[in-house]
A and B are shown apart, each in its own frame.
Chain A
Amino acid sequence: DQQVKQNSPSLSVQEGRISILNCDYTNSMFDYFLWYKKYPAEGPTFLISISSIKDKNEDGRFTVFLNKSAKHLSLHIVPSQPGDSAVYFCAAIFYGGSQGNLIFGKGTKLSVKP
């Protein structure tokens, strides 16, 4: 049973436009949410996070929104750049859960076209 779901395996966006990556979760007990970015042949790198007590966190071009009632979070990248092309993983932490508390979605491959 997948607790963190990224239903779009891929997304294509024009350079300069907004990229919106979505993530849904099933466990209302999650305390913390993270986004990771992964280039081919590299390990995932941490991008941005949000605590479950907040609904928005912004860092430069990256903003994460959390809607707890809908169990949904999204990552907005504005403006998108070709260097943002990568696989983006949503992850959640449940303090007290199994799977090492850190549970990943299957990822969304973002392609930003010049």
Chain B
Amino acid sequence: GAGVSQSPSNKVTEKGKDVELRCDPISGHTALYWYRQSLGQGLEFLIYFQGNSAPDKSGLPSDRFSAERTGGSVSTLTIQRTQQEDSAVYLCASSGRTGSYGMNTEAFFGQGTRLTVV
């Protein structure tokens, strides 16, 4: 597809279960970001992948959160032993690079996955 695709669009899970959220970035985009938005809050950075470089994991809130990006394309965000405070909309974005300095251009977002932990 032409845009960033996320699945599932909605996920309801029981507390303590593990969940996997998937992101298909725009083809050719080297940068991939995960953010989350809790109710009434702004965009909270989680993790950033850039090409083959080591990801920037500085935003992950706990060691229950992890993410991988296979083949420089699809990414999976995994939350282990989910807690109710993990309930949020999880947003994925990707961006390409442009110019002689290879700088990231604006990021394009998917529709998000709404995670509800009950």
Contacts and interface: CB of A to CB of B under 8 A. Distances in A.
A111 interface: no
Which DSSP category, helix, strand, loop or mixed, fits chain A's interface?
A: mixed
B91 to A, nearest CB: 6
Given A34-B106, A49-B106, A105 B48 contact: no
B112 A43 contact: yes
Interface residues of A, number: 24
A95 B103 contact: yes
A96 to B, nearest CB: 10
Contact of A100 (B4, B56, B106, B114): B56
Interface residues of B, number: 29
B43 to A, nearest CB: 4
B111 A42 contact: yes
A108 to B, nearest CB: 10
Contacts of A105: 42
A101 B42 contact: no
A8 to B, nearest CB: 13
22 contacts: A31-B103, A32-B103, A36-B109, A41-B111, A42-B112, A43-B91, A44-B43, A44-B93, A46-B106, A95-B101, A99-B56, A99-B58, A100-B31, A100-B33, A101-B104, A102-B48, A102-B95, A102-B104, A104-B35, A106-B41, A106-B42, A106-B43
Interface of A: 31-32, 34, 36, 41-46, 49, 89, 93, 95, 98-107
